[in-house]
Structure 1
Amino acid sequence: MTLVRSRPCYRKLEPLHSMLYFAPEAEAEFQTLGLSDAAMGYFASRSAAMGAVGAATVTAAFYNFNPALIARNLPRAWDITTPAAVLAARLRAVDAAQQRTLGAQTMAGPEVREAAELALRAAEACTPSGRPLYAAHAALPVPQEPHLALWHAITLLREHRGDGHLAALLDAELDGLEALVSYAATGQGFLPEMARRTRGWSEEEWSAAEERLRERGLLDADGALTEAGRQLRQDVEDRTDRLADAPYRRLGEDAVARLTEIAAQLSATSAANGAYPEGIFTPATAGAPGAR
Structure 2
Amino acid sequence: QKFIVKIICKTIIYLVMIVLFVMTLSVTANLVQLQASILDARVWNYSGRFLFTFAFLSIVIFIASIIGVSLFYNEVSDNLGQGVLTNFFTGKYHTPKEEERIFMFLDMKASTTIAERLGHVTYFEMLREYYADLSEPIINYQGEIYQYVGDEVVVSWTLQNGLHHHNCLRCFFAMKAALQKHHHKYSERFGLLPEFKAGFHAGKVTTGEIGTLKKEIIFTGDVLNTTARIQALCNTYNVNLLVSDHLIAQLPPDTSFNIKTLGETELRGRDEHIKLVTVELAT
Shorter chain as denominator, the TM-score bin is: under 0.3
Q: Which has the larger radius of gyration?
A: 2
Structure with the larger helix share? 1
